[in-house]
Structure 1
Amino acid sequence: MLDQLQQFNGGFPLTTTAKEFNDYLKDYLERSVLFMDVMRKRGNQMMDMTQNNSATVLNFEHKVIMDGSKFERPINYWLAEILPPKGVKTDHKLRPYVIQDPRAGQGPGIGGFKKDSEIGNALRHGHPVYFIGFNSEPIEGQTYEDIIHGQLAFYEHVAKLHPHSPKMCTVGNCAAGYLTMFSAMQHPEIFGPILIAGSPLSYWNGERGRYPMRYKGGLVGGSWINSLLGDLGGGKFDGTYLVLNFDLLNPANFLWTKQYELFANIDKESDRYLQFEKWWGDFIQFNTEEIKWLVDKLFVGNELTTGNLMTSDGIRLDPRMITSPIITFVSDGDNISPPAQSAGWIADLYHDEKEIEARGKTIVYCLNKKVGHLAIFTATKVGKREDEMFVENMDTIDMLPPGLYELVLETPEGAESNQPLQSRYEPRTIEDIKKLGYNSKEDDRAFATVAKASEANSFVYSTFIQPWFKMFANDSYANIVKNFKPLRQSYTAFSDIVNPWMKVFEPLAINIQNNRSEVSTDNKFIQLQGQVANMITDYLKSFQDIRDNFQEQMFFNYWSNPWVQKFWGTYDKEPRYIPSKTQFDRKRLDTKHIAEIKQHLPISNNVEALFRFVSLSLHGNNSLAENTARILLDEARAMEPRWDDHRLKNIIRMQSMVVDYDPDAALDELSKYSFATSDFDQVTLAVRRTADRIGVVSENVEKVVKNIASKLNIKSE
């Protein structure tokens, strides 16, 4: 019998197994106490944050310079100037950055709660940085349209502070992407490049079998549910509903993995866990009318990409009104704002890439293959790679000719600390966007049917049910409902402020930390623990897959049913207005675009000649490395230091457009200029220097030189 037990134990003596179990048990009990103490701290954090209306996890010193609560139509947003850390100098001649934080259930600060972040990278490059945050409680009577109108004042104020700098770069994360673009639609001339990160602008778009969050509205019959939840809160919609929605997208992580990873790595993960939970558990509130507007107009209604979204006072909100370059950062691992939604708006608005060019637009998307939604603007890896790349690219991105591009980061992951980041712009087509996920007409019709039903259900609710809630509403009841939400209770139940019994873990945890000895990872019981944990994770993921498939089938089985669609009047109609699929005067648009290019065919100065020459040399090379754009701007500054960057960038941009349109005519005009100009040798010297710096194949330059020479000979005869 003893031999059999030893064989089961891999041949080791049973005393070894007993010792391993004893070590594991001690470690398990110590980790349990430390885990409970972290839960206590987490609960106390939540209590501190939610009781402070202006709490933020912003990890940079800042001062509020504009308070939206003082506006004529007050809002709970504010504008802060980020004060540079010690040792960092800000150059107010550089382009200012404005980072807008997402108000999506949690408090402000996530865009700058780490050193390696959007804010940190902009500061390290010397840019003045501003931050738009918000308070946890909305102003009484505040509407979402008040926010749309009011926050524009923040951007106008930053523009006035930097009248001689390049136009501001704005960054909108997630829900802040809408607001950033709404401001740029109203006052496009004050904006420079606009970066929207993980922002689902085209909410209906998606792929069957992936990312089921877009079905939520249809599964509950539309937006009436938001009114109900808001009325239960006395006119306030609690952010816990949104956070719980996000959590339940990945039940394995929510119910098990996040807590288990903390427990299993309690000595290393505590600080990181508490740092993130400080923001994740800082639940905020919306006025019911705010969330209702968002759901009706953007999520269920999907009106943003129609170009026909109107405010109640008649302001049209059309993304095509934005004149600045737009960069959208998307990830294939994002289950909240997948690429189909955060890049699909481009295919909604523009028929093809030629239309983008003809309208003079520059649109860039950057695709990460794996990070999740929050990692897009919180992960340290993203901060060191994509965020750093965006800051480095913003001063050259407005030199790109109009068109659609993908910004590709070439530096291998992990190598960014040892070598400069390398990136390039690759021309793309609308078909490339659609490959990221795009609805069929049948899928669109299902969502359009939901939108119709939502309108009717909301009318019934507001007419017959909502008055009863308003009749009996009071603050005491609303506070009870808010504080006893299960998600809030999952924090407060562990707080020693609410639950004094939790105080026992504080001295125990201190004592354990002073005498802690971790068990070896070779311990068989630690390995068994990991195997069991993986089994639980796999089971929950299997449940998630079954649930997601069931919800998708239920959604389409009902809302794609011809009888349901006939009842709501959507069966034989176009499901939605898509600007890219409608007729427009393409000939007039193209004629105007070509006329503008032809105006710039003749060359009037050496700077234009230099970049006509360079563009001819680069012609046929579809991709453009970012360092090439930087070199071109350096050479332009060297040739004409009196001109501002805006003028120089426009010249570089336009010369590329002229060459792309008609390279032969462009070469003829360069030849004419070279024949008529006495100091053309300066241009050729600058061309050769530029070619050497950017690595242009010398034979391309020589080919252009020979072509010019041949034309000069013709003219001299």
Structure 2
Amino acid sequence: MPSTYDPENLFPCLSEDGAASARQAKNLAELAAIHAQRIARNHGERAQTALAAASPALQKIADLAREGKLDKAADEYMRDATQRYWLTLDVLRQRGDNDIAHEAAGTPPVLIYDHEVAMDGKTLPHPCNYVLLKIVPPKGVETHDWKRPYMIIDPRAGHGAGIGGFKSDSQVGVALHDGHPVYFCVFRPQPEPDQTLADVMRAEAEFLREIRRRHPDAPKPVVVGNCQGGWATLILAAANPDISGPLVINGAPVAAWSGRMGENPMRYNGGLLGGALPALLMSDLGAGVFDGAHLVSNFEGLNPGRNYFGKYYDLFAAPEKTRSSFLEFERWWGGFHFMNEAEITWIVRNIFVGNKLSRGEAHLERGRRIDLKAIRSPIIVFASKGDNITPPQQALNWIADTFTDEHEIRVRGHRIIYMVHEKVGHLGIFVSSSIAKKEHAEVTSTLKTIEALAPGLYEMTIDEQIGEGVDAHFRVSFTQRTMSELAGIDDSRGDEAQFGAVSRLSDLACEFYDIFARPFVQTSVSKASAEAARKMHPGRASRRMFSNENPLMDFAREEARRAEKARAPADPANPLLALEKIWANGMVQTLDFWRDMRDAAYEMTFFSIYGAPAMLRFGASHAWARTTVDAKDLAHLPEVEAVLLGIDRGGFAVAVIRMLILIAQARHQVRRDRLERSANVLSHDEPFASLGAEKRAALIREQSIIVEFAPEKAVETLPLLLTDPAERQRAIDVVDSIAGAVEEMEPHTLAMLRRIRSVLGLPRLGALTSGDPLESAQSAAQ
């Protein structure tokens, strides 16, 4: 016992609470400074821009007044604005009518491609509302059954399906134009009775099996998951690791607690709005069905300036020009869909509030835990810094939550590639034509060769454009990354501990509600009252009020017809048009300012409540961080030890694969052109081609483990794998042809090639082989 009074030793919890209080005060001070500086900088710059734009317009108005022409300009502007008003109102009328017709037709997918039903989830033993469509290639586009098929899973986040094939320059379009058969997972508005996410997963697995039955000569299908379809894809692959090929995960919120302080306010909703309780309550008020319109309202609230004013002003500013695109997008945006209570509750509890999927604690059904480590397929993750719904931290931090470090990724044979865009927004990830033409096109090209990549964690970068127009292509490289480098996308993950209390409070609130309040709520709701509430939802009412169901719109339609016949746009140089645009920008900025102040208040309130010492203790059981393991400890895993025992056994195929991995490890980066050459040799030339994809993948994994844990012996034992001098020369010729021109090599690559030649007793490095030596030899033999 200490000889002097030491409060820290007597009451350690007081010391911990004091440190937590100090961190809380520090975080709040930093947050206040971050938000104040960002608001002052952004809105200050926008105000200055507005003032600078206003000065020429005001000066021109003054000039017109002196010249006696202002009344003419005003008349011209008023005529133009009035005509645009009636035309805009008519577009809103048409949007409302389109919504009614869309719902009457069963809210079909908004795909622009013709399609046919390949399989209906309603007919499966566990029925669900998912349907597999086969996309019919447009005229002039040919697909091949032997090429790897694609299956695209769209998000079921309030809207209907089809956004991934919304435009010709889209994920679907890119795959079709490259000759791949494309399938699309869509869903009906209403779920089947008692449908669960486990039923959906089983249906998607059966869809993949059906695709493989239709394309027996093709490699396993690529699965593309957009937004919530992304984590659904991970669950599908973890529960069924043998049925899919590479996975492409676009903007998927998997690690929902993650984000930067001062940004990403959506992650605080669970803590400030009651956790999973609102989802339970809304489902009960909906007679057991959760209305997707609630989710869409949440998305709209993230950017009120755009969603509540900006997009309507853009329509008003040029109704003739924007009518078609506005109605096209709004057809999808207003096609609200539904979920069963069990589905939305699982999503909220296991992802958005509980963060259990990322940490390996989620159970899809009783006794069935979802372990993302079980996935065997290569994974490409696409995120963007401009995504305010799924920031890069939420899209990527599940990797660090699942694996101890990059060494475990390699030991387990995983290939995880991530790409971070600088500015595209959430929907732009799967809607933008520019993304389809560049990023998605390069991902599609990469998927042809990804299985030749050695296991590991990589960042994919598009380094430079080569060529112009339709002939343009890009130089793509894959740089090996560590977990510490991946952590650089986040400021710190220390703030995630505060979400533990949110998760625990949510569980307690749901239990209390389930026991004491739920029976009364459920007995007070009927299907008729639930349907009436759905119709009165602002997302629907604000659209239908402009439809032909409103008799006042008959007058608006007639006025729009008159305006269209008498249309006389104002002179673009009219200064009143410039002032109108300045006013509109000011309205958007006002809403943006309110949003920024709201978000600041959101975050400050969250950290004030959940950063308190008592809350941190309360949530400690629900918040944890993965313990890192030293790479040396992984060397003692039984599977690693078994592989290392065979380090001196093998032959030509093993030796070539090992040498390629040694070179890749030496340079820590792989250019796609080299990867393509490697994939061509491994998939088309003997003795590799006859091994089959699974055996080749196993060899690549085994040799990666050897290079990882015994790099020196990996080189020194090469002569034991290649005992015949002619075989050694043939093997090094293959490696040289893949490595490429000497002048393009990095010093580490050259050093490794020279060392391999020396160990094998081969001549010094000279001019490298051009072309594929194995292919040449096979041609000569024939």
| TM > 0.5 | yes
AA matched with 1:678? A
For residues 584 and 651 of structure 2, the distance between their equivalents in structure 1, rounded to whole angstroms, comes to 71
Is 1:464 paired with 2:516? yes
1:599 aligns with 646
Displacement of 1:60 after TM fit?
Answer: 1.2
Kindly indicate whether the alpha-carbon contact (under 8 Å) linking 1:307 and 1:579 is maintained by their aligned counterparts in 2.
Answer: no
TM-aligned CA distance change 1:429 to 1:707, over 3 Å: closer
Percent of aligned pairs with the same amino acid: 32
SS in 2 for 1:18: helix
Superposed, which structure 2 residues align to 1:667-678 within 5 Å? 667-671=715-719, 676-678=724-726
Is 1:392 paired with 2:445? yes
Is 1:297 paired with 2:350? yes
1:634 aligns with 680
1:487 aligns with 539
Counterpart among 604, 611, 618 of residue 553 in structure 1: 604
Displacement of 1:697 after TM fit?
Answer: 3.6
AA matched with 1:557? S
1:371 aligns with 424
1:45 aligns with 98
For residues 202 and 423 of structure 2, the distance between their equivalents in structure 1, rounded to whole angstroms, comes to 36
Is 1:359 paired with 2:412? yes
Kindly indicate whether the alpha-carbon contact (under 8 Å) linking 2:359 and 2:402 is maintained by their aligned counterparts in 1.
Answer: yes
1:527 aligns with 578
Render the CA deviation track for 1:413-444: whole Å, top value 9, x for unaligned.
99675511221111112122222226544x33
TM-aligned CA distance change 1:694 to 1:104, over 3 Å: farther
AA matched with 1:620? A
For residues 698 and 430 of structure 1, the distance between their equivalents in structure 2, rounded to whole angstroms, comes to 24
TM-aligned CA distance change 1:244 to 1:637, over 3 Å: closer
AA matched with 1:627? D
2:488 aligns with 435
Displacement of 1:155 after TM fit?
Answer: 2.0
1:168 aligns with 221
2:274 aligns with 221
Counterpart among 364, 373, 388 of residue 320 in structure 1: 373
TM-aligned CA distance change 1:321 to 1:656, over 3 Å: closer
Superposed, which structure 2 residues align to 1:272-311 within 5 Å? 272-311=325-364
Render the CA deviation track for 1:525-575: whole Å, top value 9, x for unaligned.
111111111212222111111100101111121122234455xx33xx354
SS in 2 for 1:643: helix
AA matched with 2:399? I
Which range moves more in the overlay, 649-658 or 269-278?
A: 649-658
TM-score, normalised with respect to structure 2: 0.83
For residues 516 and 629 of structure 2, the distance between their equivalents in structure 1, rounded to whole angstroms, comes to 39
TM-aligned CA distance change 1:704 to 1:223, over 3 Å: closer
Is 1:339 paired with 2:392? yes
1:621 aligns with 667
Kindly indicate whether the alpha-carbon contact (under 8 Å) linking 2:647 and 2:714 is maintained by their aligned counterparts in 1.
Answer: no
SS in 2 for 1:79: strand
Kindly indicate whether the alpha-carbon contact (under 8 Å) linking 2:499 and 2:623 is maintained by their aligned counterparts in 1.
Answer: no
Is 1:476 paired with 2:528? yes
For residues 266 and 562 of structure 2, the distance between their equivalents in structure 1, rounded to whole angstroms, comes to 45
SS in 2 for 1:620: helix
TM-aligned CA distance change 1:676 to 1:551, over 3 Å: same
Counterpart among 237, 240, 253 of residue 293 in structure 2: 240
For residues 618 and 584 of structure 1, the distance between their equivalents in structure 2, rounded to whole angstroms, comes to 20
Is 1:500 paired with 2:547? no
SS in 2 for 1:410: strand
Which range moves more in the overlay, 274-283 or 394-403?
A: 394-403
For residues 146 and 275 of structure 1, the distance between their equivalents in structure 2, rounded to whole angstroms, comes to 32
2:174 aligns with 121
AA matched with 2:726? S
TM-aligned CA distance change 1:600 to 1:169, over 3 Å: farther
Kindly tell me the number of residue pairs found equivalent between the two proteins: 703
Counterpart among 752, 757, 767 of residue 708 in structure 1: 757
Displacement of 1:630 after TM fit?
Answer: 0.9
SS in 1 for 2:552: helix
Structure 1 residues not aligned, in runs of 5+: none
Displacement of 1:291 after TM fit?
Answer: 1.0
Render the CA deviation track for 1:375-412: whole Å, top value 9, x for unaligned.
11111111111111111111111222111111112246
SS in 2 for 1:336: coil
Is 1:643 paired with 2:690? yes
Displacement of 1:214 after TM fit?
Answer: 0.9
Displacement of 1:331 after TM fit?
Answer: 0.8
For residues 616 and 730 of structure 2, the distance between their equivalents in structure 1, rounded to whole angstroms, comes to 70
Displacement of 1:115 after TM fit?
Answer: 0.8
AA matched with 2:283? G
For residues 207 and 6 of structure 1, the distance between their equivalents in structure 2, rounded to whole angstroms, comes to 44
Displacement of 1:241 after TM fit?
Answer: 0.5
SS in 2 for 1:388: helix
Counterpart among 187, 190, 199 of residue 252 in structure 2: 199
SS in 2 for 1:311: strand
Is 1:542 paired with 2:593? yes
For residues 760 and 730 of structure 2, the distance between their equivalents in structure 1, rounded to whole angstroms, comes to 19
TM-aligned CA distance change 1:639 to 1:297, over 3 Å: closer
TM-aligned CA distance change 1:34 to 1:563, over 3 Å: same
Counterpart among 89, 113, 116 of residue 63 in structure 1: 116
For residues 81 and 694 of structure 1, the distance between their equivalents in structure 2, rounded to whole angstroms, comes to 46
Which range moves more in the overlay, 583-592 or 280-289?
A: 583-592
Kindly indicate whether the alpha-carbon contact (under 8 Å) linking 1:198 and 1:342 is maintained by their aligned counterparts in 2.
Answer: yes
SS in 2 for 1:343: helix
Kindly indicate whether the alpha-carbon contact (under 8 Å) linking 2:500 and 2:616 is maintained by their aligned counterparts in 1.
Answer: no
For residues 640 and 562 of structure 2, the distance between their equivalents in structure 1, rounded to whole angstroms, comes to 74
SS in 2 for 1:377: helix
Kindly indicate whether the alpha-carbon contact (under 8 Å) linking 1:308 and 1:316 is maintained by their aligned counterparts in 2.
Answer: yes
Superposed, which structure 2 residues align to 1:90-169 within 5 Å? 90-169=143-222
For residues 712 and 65 of structure 1, the distance between their equivalents in structure 2, rounded to whole angstroms, comes to 58
Kindly indicate whether the alpha-carbon contact (under 8 Å) linking 2:387 and 2:426 is maintained by their aligned counterparts in 1.
Answer: yes
Is 1:72 paired with 2:121? no
Render the CA deviation track for 1:195-239: whole Å, top value 9, x for unaligned.
111111111111111011111111122211112212222222111
For residues 169 and 249 of structure 1, the distance between their equivalents in structure 2, rounded to whole angstroms, comes to 32
Kindly indicate whether the alpha-carbon contact (under 8 Å) linking 2:647 and 2:706 is maintained by their aligned counterparts in 1.
Answer: yes
Superposed, which structure 2 residues align to 1:573-588 within 5 Å? 573=620, 575-581=622-628, 586-587=633-634
Render the CA deviation track for 1:54-96: whole Å, top value 9, x for unaligned.
5110111111121111222211111111111111111111111
Kindly indicate whether the alpha-carbon contact (under 8 Å) linking 2:256 and 2:351 is maintained by their aligned counterparts in 1.
Answer: yes
For residues 219 and 62 of structure 1, the distance between their equivalents in structure 2, rounded to whole angstroms, comes to 43
AA matched with 1:489? A
Is 1:402 paired with 2:433? no
2:29 aligns with none
For residues 613 and 38 of structure 1, the distance between their equivalents in structure 2, rounded to whole angstroms, comes to 64
1:259 aligns with 312
For residues 60 and 290 of structure 2, the distance between their equivalents in structure 1, rounded to whole angstroms, comes to 61
Is 1:268 paired with 2:321? yes
Kindly indicate whether the alpha-carbon contact (under 8 Å) linking 1:53 and 1:137 is maintained by their aligned counterparts in 2.
Answer: no
Kindly indicate whether the alpha-carbon contact (under 8 Å) linking 2:500 and 2:621 is maintained by their aligned counterparts in 1.
Answer: no
TM-aligned CA distance change 1:228 to 1:639, over 3 Å: closer
For residues 243 and 331 of structure 1, the distance between their equivalents in structure 2, rounded to whole angstroms, comes to 21
TM-aligned CA distance change 1:704 to 1:557, over 3 Å: closer
TM-aligned CA distance change 1:382 to 1:510, over 3 Å: farther
Kindly indicate whether the alpha-carbon contact (under 8 Å) linking 1:633 and 1:648 is maintained by their aligned counterparts in 2.
Answer: no
Kindly indicate whether the alpha-carbon contact (under 8 Å) linking 1:358 and 1:589 is maintained by their aligned counterparts in 2.
Answer: no
Kindly indicate whether the alpha-carbon contact (under 8 Å) linking 2:248 and 2:379 is maintained by their aligned counterparts in 1.
Answer: yes
SS in 1 for 2:245: strand
